[in-house]
Amino acid sequence: MDWLECVPNVSEGRRLDAVARLVAAAVSAPGVRLLDVSSDPDHNRSVLTLAGDAEALHRSLLALYGAALAEIDLTRHQGVHPRVGAVDVVPFVPLGDTPMAAAVAAAERLAREVAERFALPVYLYEQAARRPERRLLADIRRGGFEGLAARIAEPAWSPDFGPARVHPGAGATVIGARFFLIAFNAVLDTPDVAVARAVARRVRESGGGLPAVRALGVYLASRDRAQVSMNLVDFRRTPLLAALDRVRSEAEALGARVVETEVIGLVPEEAAFGVVRDALQLPGFGAGRVLEGALLR
Protein backbone atom coordinates (compact mmCIF):
# COMPACT_ATOMS: atom_id res chain seq x y z
CA MET A 1 0.00 0.00 0.00
CA ASP A 2 1.27 3.48 -0.90
CA TRP A 3 1.55 5.68 2.18
CA LEU A 4 1.36 9.43 1.91
CA GLU A 5 1.80 12.35 4.24
CA CYS A 6 -0.49 15.33 3.68
CA VAL A 7 0.06 18.73 5.31
CA PRO A 8 -2.99 20.95 4.78
CA ASN A 9 -2.53 24.59 5.83
CA VAL A 10 -5.75 26.36 6.85
CA SER A 11 -6.21 30.10 7.34
CA GLU A 12 -7.25 30.02 10.98
CA GLY A 13 -4.93 30.06 13.97
CA ARG A 14 -6.69 32.25 16.53
CA ARG A 15 -10.11 30.72 17.13
CA LEU A 16 -9.02 27.43 18.63
CA ASP A 17 -12.61 26.18 18.83
CA ALA A 18 -12.84 26.55 15.06
CA VAL A 19 -9.47 24.81 14.63
CA ALA A 20 -10.77 21.92 16.76
CA ARG A 21 -13.78 21.55 14.45
CA LEU A 22 -11.53 21.57 11.40
CA VAL A 23 -9.35 18.86 12.94
CA ALA A 24 -12.41 16.81 13.85
CA ALA A 25 -13.56 16.94 10.24
CA ALA A 26 -10.14 15.85 8.99
CA VAL A 27 -9.99 12.81 11.27
CA SER A 28 -13.60 11.78 10.60
CA ALA A 29 -12.45 9.56 7.72
CA PRO A 30 -11.41 6.04 8.76
CA GLY A 31 -7.81 5.14 8.06
CA VAL A 32 -6.31 8.61 8.54
CA ARG A 33 -3.78 9.32 11.28
CA LEU A 34 -3.45 12.81 12.72
CA LEU A 35 0.23 13.23 13.54
CA ASP A 36 0.38 16.90 14.53
CA VAL A 37 -1.49 20.21 14.70
CA SER A 38 0.38 23.52 14.90
CA SER A 39 -1.52 26.81 15.27
CA ASP A 40 -0.13 30.34 15.40
CA PRO A 41 -2.16 33.50 16.16
CA ASP A 42 0.21 35.95 14.43
CA HIS A 43 0.35 33.95 11.22
CA ASN A 44 -3.35 33.17 11.82
CA ARG A 45 -2.78 29.76 10.36
CA SER A 46 -2.91 26.12 11.39
CA VAL A 47 -0.94 23.26 9.89
CA LEU A 48 -2.26 19.71 10.15
CA THR A 49 -0.04 16.71 9.50
CA LEU A 50 -1.98 13.68 8.29
CA ALA A 51 -0.90 10.26 7.07
CA GLY A 52 -2.68 7.41 5.35
CA ASP A 53 -3.32 5.85 1.98
CA ALA A 54 -4.60 7.93 -0.91
CA GLU A 55 -8.23 6.91 -0.51
CA ALA A 56 -8.41 7.66 3.21
CA LEU A 57 -6.69 11.01 2.77
CA HIS A 58 -9.04 11.90 -0.08
CA ARG A 59 -12.08 11.42 2.15
CA SER A 60 -10.40 13.27 5.02
CA LEU A 61 -9.52 16.28 2.93
CA LEU A 62 -12.95 16.62 1.37
CA ALA A 63 -14.38 16.74 4.88
CA LEU A 64 -11.77 19.35 5.85
CA TYR A 65 -12.67 21.55 2.87
CA GLY A 66 -16.36 21.35 3.76
CA ALA A 67 -15.67 22.39 7.34
CA ALA A 68 -13.28 25.19 6.32
CA LEU A 69 -15.82 26.76 3.98
CA ALA A 70 -18.26 26.88 6.90
CA GLU A 71 -15.72 28.23 9.42
CA ILE A 72 -13.45 30.66 7.53
CA ASP A 73 -14.22 33.92 5.75
CA LEU A 74 -11.12 35.32 4.09
CA THR A 75 -12.65 38.78 3.79
CA ARG A 76 -12.32 38.98 7.60
CA HIS A 77 -9.02 37.13 7.87
CA GLN A 78 -5.86 38.94 8.90
CA GLY A 79 -2.45 37.45 9.55
CA VAL A 80 1.21 37.93 8.63
CA HIS A 81 1.40 34.77 6.52
CA PRO A 82 0.57 34.97 2.78
CA ARG A 83 -2.64 33.13 1.84
CA VAL A 84 -5.06 32.72 -1.05
CA GLY A 85 -7.57 30.33 0.47
CA ALA A 86 -9.44 29.13 3.53
CA VAL A 87 -7.70 25.83 2.87
CA ASP A 88 -4.64 27.57 1.52
CA VAL A 89 -2.33 24.79 0.42
CA VAL A 90 -2.53 20.99 0.46
CA PRO A 91 0.72 19.18 -0.36
CA PHE A 92 1.00 15.39 -0.66
CA VAL A 93 4.38 13.86 0.26
CA PRO A 94 5.31 10.24 -0.55
CA LEU A 95 6.49 8.18 2.44
CA GLY A 96 8.89 5.26 2.40
CA ASP A 97 8.98 3.55 -1.00
CA THR A 98 5.86 5.30 -2.28
CA PRO A 99 6.66 6.90 -5.65
CA MET A 100 6.15 10.61 -6.29
CA ALA A 101 3.71 9.61 -9.02
CA ALA A 102 1.29 8.38 -6.34
CA ALA A 103 1.39 11.78 -4.63
CA VAL A 104 0.81 13.55 -7.96
CA ALA A 105 -2.17 11.29 -8.71
CA ALA A 106 -3.65 11.99 -5.26
CA ALA A 107 -3.22 15.74 -5.80
CA GLU A 108 -4.88 15.69 -9.22
CA ARG A 109 -7.81 13.61 -8.02
CA LEU A 110 -8.42 15.88 -5.02
CA ALA A 111 -8.08 19.03 -7.12
CA ARG A 112 -10.71 17.85 -9.58
CA GLU A 113 -13.25 16.93 -6.92
CA VAL A 114 -12.68 20.02 -4.75
CA ALA A 115 -13.35 22.21 -7.78
CA GLU A 116 -16.53 20.33 -8.67
CA ARG A 117 -17.92 19.93 -5.17
CA PHE A 118 -17.12 23.33 -3.69
CA ALA A 119 -16.88 25.59 -6.78
CA LEU A 120 -13.35 26.53 -5.78
CA PRO A 121 -10.61 27.54 -8.21
CA VAL A 122 -7.71 25.09 -7.80
CA TYR A 123 -4.07 25.53 -8.77
CA LEU A 124 -1.63 22.61 -8.99
CA TYR A 125 1.95 23.21 -7.85
CA GLU A 126 5.40 21.65 -7.39
CA GLN A 127 5.58 18.12 -8.86
CA ALA A 128 1.88 18.25 -9.81
CA ALA A 129 2.18 21.59 -11.66
CA ARG A 130 0.91 21.64 -15.24
CA ARG A 131 2.66 24.90 -16.09
CA PRO A 132 6.27 25.74 -15.17
CA GLU A 133 5.30 29.21 -13.92
CA ARG A 134 3.05 27.56 -11.31
CA ARG A 135 5.62 25.20 -9.87
CA LEU A 136 6.53 27.54 -7.00
CA LEU A 137 3.87 28.19 -4.39
CA ALA A 138 5.13 31.73 -3.81
CA ASP A 139 4.42 32.65 -7.44
CA ILE A 140 0.80 31.51 -7.16
CA ARG A 141 0.32 33.16 -3.79
CA ARG A 142 1.96 36.50 -4.66
CA GLY A 143 -0.37 39.33 -3.65
CA GLY A 144 -2.48 37.02 -1.47
CA PHE A 145 -6.21 36.49 -1.73
CA GLU A 146 -6.79 40.08 -2.78
CA GLY A 147 -4.14 39.98 -5.50
CA LEU A 148 -5.38 36.71 -6.93
CA ALA A 149 -8.95 38.03 -7.02
CA ALA A 150 -7.71 40.88 -9.25
CA ARG A 151 -5.85 38.68 -11.76
CA ILE A 152 -7.67 35.34 -11.84
CA ALA A 153 -9.71 36.34 -14.90
CA GLU A 154 -6.51 36.79 -16.92
CA PRO A 155 -5.81 33.82 -19.23
CA ALA A 156 -2.37 33.34 -17.68
CA TRP A 157 -3.96 32.84 -14.26
CA SER A 158 -6.92 30.69 -15.18
CA PRO A 159 -7.04 27.91 -12.57
CA ASP A 160 -6.22 24.31 -13.41
CA PHE A 161 -9.66 23.26 -12.17
CA GLY A 162 -12.77 25.17 -11.19
CA PRO A 163 -14.17 28.62 -11.99
CA ALA A 164 -12.00 31.56 -13.06
CA ARG A 165 -13.19 33.59 -10.09
CA VAL A 166 -12.35 33.39 -6.40
CA HIS A 167 -14.88 32.01 -3.97
CA PRO A 168 -16.29 35.02 -2.06
CA GLY A 169 -15.34 33.68 1.36
CA ALA A 170 -12.93 30.81 0.73
CA GLY A 171 -10.79 32.26 -2.06
CA ALA A 172 -8.88 29.61 -3.99
CA THR A 173 -6.77 26.61 -3.05
CA VAL A 174 -3.39 25.23 -4.10
CA ILE A 175 -2.85 21.46 -4.20
CA GLY A 176 0.34 19.64 -5.08
CA ALA A 177 2.95 16.97 -4.52
CA ARG A 178 6.44 17.59 -3.18
CA PHE A 179 9.42 16.43 -1.16
CA PHE A 180 9.54 17.01 2.62
CA LEU A 181 9.43 20.69 3.59
CA ILE A 182 10.60 21.96 6.97
CA ALA A 183 8.90 25.12 8.22
CA PHE A 184 11.62 26.62 10.42
CA ASN A 185 11.32 30.03 12.11
CA ALA A 186 13.88 32.12 13.96
CA VAL A 187 12.70 34.74 16.47
CA LEU A 188 14.93 37.80 16.89
CA ASP A 189 15.53 39.93 19.97
CA THR A 190 14.13 43.00 18.23
CA PRO A 191 10.62 44.09 17.26
CA ASP A 192 12.03 45.78 14.14
CA VAL A 193 10.52 43.87 11.22
CA ALA A 194 12.86 45.69 8.83
CA VAL A 195 15.74 43.72 10.37
CA ALA A 196 13.93 40.42 9.88
CA ARG A 197 13.11 41.32 6.27
CA ALA A 198 16.72 42.23 5.57
CA VAL A 199 17.91 38.93 7.06
CA ALA A 200 15.31 37.02 5.02
CA ARG A 201 16.48 38.68 1.79
CA ARG A 202 20.08 37.62 2.49
CA VAL A 203 19.17 34.07 3.51
CA ARG A 204 16.70 33.02 0.82
CA GLU A 205 17.80 31.40 -2.40
CA SER A 206 16.09 33.97 -4.63
CA GLY A 207 18.22 36.70 -3.04
CA GLY A 208 21.48 34.83 -3.61
CA GLY A 209 21.42 33.12 -0.22
CA LEU A 210 21.12 29.46 0.67
CA PRO A 211 19.90 26.86 -1.83
CA ALA A 212 16.37 25.50 -1.34
CA VAL A 213 15.55 28.13 1.29
CA ARG A 214 12.60 30.50 1.07
CA ALA A 215 12.25 33.17 3.72
CA LEU A 216 10.33 36.26 4.74
CA GLY A 217 10.46 38.63 7.68
CA VAL A 218 7.34 39.22 9.79
CA TYR A 219 6.32 40.97 12.99
CA LEU A 220 4.80 38.86 15.78
CA ALA A 221 2.41 41.15 17.63
CA SER A 222 1.72 38.60 20.36
CA ARG A 223 5.43 38.55 21.29
CA ASP A 224 6.52 42.01 20.15
CA ARG A 225 9.33 40.33 18.23
CA ALA A 226 10.43 40.12 14.62
CA GLN A 227 10.71 36.69 13.04
CA VAL A 228 12.53 35.21 10.07
CA SER A 229 10.08 32.65 8.74
CA MET A 230 11.72 30.01 6.54
CA ASN A 231 10.72 27.08 4.39
CA LEU A 232 13.53 24.58 3.83
CA VAL A 233 12.25 22.86 0.72
CA ASP A 234 15.12 20.37 0.56
CA PHE A 235 17.01 19.81 3.81
CA ARG A 236 19.57 17.72 1.90
CA ARG A 237 20.76 20.90 0.16
CA THR A 238 20.53 23.23 3.16
CA PRO A 239 20.32 21.44 6.52
CA LEU A 240 18.62 22.97 9.54
CA LEU A 241 21.82 23.98 11.32
CA ALA A 242 23.24 25.63 8.19
CA ALA A 243 20.08 27.73 7.85
CA LEU A 244 20.22 28.75 11.51
CA ASP A 245 23.91 29.63 11.34
CA ARG A 246 23.29 31.89 8.35
CA VAL A 247 20.35 33.63 10.04
CA ARG A 248 22.45 34.16 13.17
CA SER A 249 25.35 35.70 11.25
CA GLU A 250 23.13 37.97 9.15
CA ALA A 251 21.15 39.10 12.21
CA GLU A 252 24.32 39.82 14.19
CA ALA A 253 25.63 41.93 11.31
CA LEU A 254 22.52 44.09 11.78
CA GLY A 255 22.84 44.28 15.56
CA ALA A 256 20.28 41.58 16.42
CA ARG A 257 20.42 38.00 17.59
CA VAL A 258 18.31 34.86 17.49
CA VAL A 259 16.64 34.16 20.83
CA GLU A 260 14.44 31.20 19.86
CA THR A 261 13.59 28.94 16.96
CA GLU A 262 10.51 26.88 16.19
CA VAL A 263 9.49 24.13 13.82
CA ILE A 264 5.94 24.09 12.47
CA GLY A 265 4.71 20.56 11.91
CA LEU A 266 7.05 17.58 11.88
CA VAL A 267 10.67 17.06 10.86
CA PRO A 268 11.95 13.97 9.04
CA GLU A 269 14.22 11.84 11.21
CA GLU A 270 17.13 12.24 8.82
CA ALA A 271 16.94 16.05 9.09
CA ALA A 272 17.08 15.84 12.89
CA PHE A 273 20.05 13.49 12.82
CA GLY A 274 21.71 15.91 10.43
CA VAL A 275 21.62 18.63 13.10
CA VAL A 276 23.46 16.36 15.52
CA ARG A 277 26.01 15.35 12.88
CA ASP A 278 26.71 18.98 12.02
CA ALA A 279 26.78 20.29 15.60
CA LEU A 280 28.99 17.49 16.95
CA GLN A 281 31.06 16.97 13.79
CA LEU A 282 29.97 13.36 13.98
CA PRO A 283 29.47 12.19 10.38
CA GLY A 284 28.41 8.63 11.23
CA PHE A 285 25.57 9.55 13.58
CA GLY A 286 22.15 8.08 12.80
CA ALA A 287 19.32 5.98 14.17
CA GLY A 288 21.70 3.11 14.85
CA ARG A 289 23.55 5.20 17.44
CA VAL A 290 20.41 6.02 19.46
CA LEU A 291 19.68 3.76 22.47
CA GLU A 292 15.92 3.64 21.96
CA GLY A 293 16.39 2.92 18.27
CA ALA A 294 18.67 -0.01 19.06
CA LEU A 295 16.17 -1.39 21.57
CA LEU A 296 13.36 -1.30 18.99
CA ARG A 297 15.33 -3.06 16.26
- Close Cβ partners of 114 (under 8 Å, ≥ 6 residues apart): 61, 62, 65, 120, 122, 161, 162, 173, 175
For this structure, is 81 an active site residue?
Answer: yes
Contact 54, 113 (CB under 8 A): no
Supply φ then ψ for residue 244, to 5 degrees.
-65, -45
Please state, as a whole number, how many other Cβ atoms lie within 10 Å of the Cβ of residue 156: 8
- Close Cβ partners of 207 (under 8 Å, ≥ 6 residues apart): 200, 201
Active-site annotation holder among 43, 58, 77, 81 = 81
Contact 11, 88 (CB under 8 A): yes
Known catalytic residues?
81
